[in-house]
Amino acid sequence: MFGSFLNEIASKLPEINRKDKEIYLKDKIDEKVFGDILIKVGLISIEIKNSEKSEIYYKFSLYDSNPNKPGMKDFVLGSHVKLDAEKSCICIYGYQDDYDEKNIILGMKKILFKEKILDEVYDKSEEYKNNPEKYEANTDDIIERIEKRREVRPYNLFIIKHFIKYVIDKYKEENISSEDNSANENNEDNKNITSNPFITNGE
């Protein structure tokens, strides 16, 4: 019901191209697995379908629209994250103003505090803001480059890098876990074959 309502609204919206930040990754990312990770860490997925294609957006909250510029467009799309798997790129969308960027950063911080990646006390005391190089996330093996349509405050970029590292680490853990499970299943199959008394070595 809710999904069809969103699709009806979205079908009336013009094409929106406002990728404020595009974070290009060094490795290819599976769209389905990555989407599942974003949902697990607390984002909300919205699938918008129209006659041409289906798009999945991930929001930190459905209720972060700017009260100074209310509208269904803000509610449906607003500030959100989207993976472009073809380009190995995580796109962070938002209108060209401080309000939307603040929503994205607050959403990321809430997750990072909850997962003990960053400390809320240090954040409030502006320790991170004043000494970012001391606590910076090491994303050299994750991020190829970051493209921005407008300048991003150094502290906001600090938070974004931590969030990207966190979700990609979770993504890698998920892949390793899946590979281990697959290997265990294969081992069990082989064990069953070799222990079957009706199967001989070519005799």
Predicted local distance difference test score (pLDDT) of residue 49: 74
- Return the pLDDT at 114: 95
d(CA 50, CA 8): 8
pLDDT at 200: 46
Tokens of 200: 């001989």
pTM: 0.77
Q: Which residues pair with 82 in a beta bridge?
A: 91
- Residue-level pLDDT at 21: 87
- Containing H/E element for 64? none
d(CA 44, CA 166): 17
Position 135 scores a pLDDT of 96
CA distance 138 to 115: 17
pLDDT digits (tens), the chain, 203 positions: 455 555 555 555 444 445 678 999 999 999 999 999 999 999 988 887 766 677 888 988 876 555 555 555 555 666 788 899 999 999 988 655 566 677 888 999 999 999 999 999 999 999 999 999 999 999 999 999 999 877 778 898 999 999 999 999 999 998 887 666 665 666 665 655 555 554 444 44
Phi, psi of 117 (to 5 degrees): -75, -40
What is the per-residue pLDDT for 57?
A: 86
Q: Which residues contact 139 (CB under 8 A, 6 or more apart)?
A: 161, 164, 165
- Going from the C-alpha of 198 to that of each of 195, 202, 203, the distances in angstroms are 9, 11, 11
pLDDT (0 to 100) of residue 192? 59
Give residue 14's pLDDT.
46
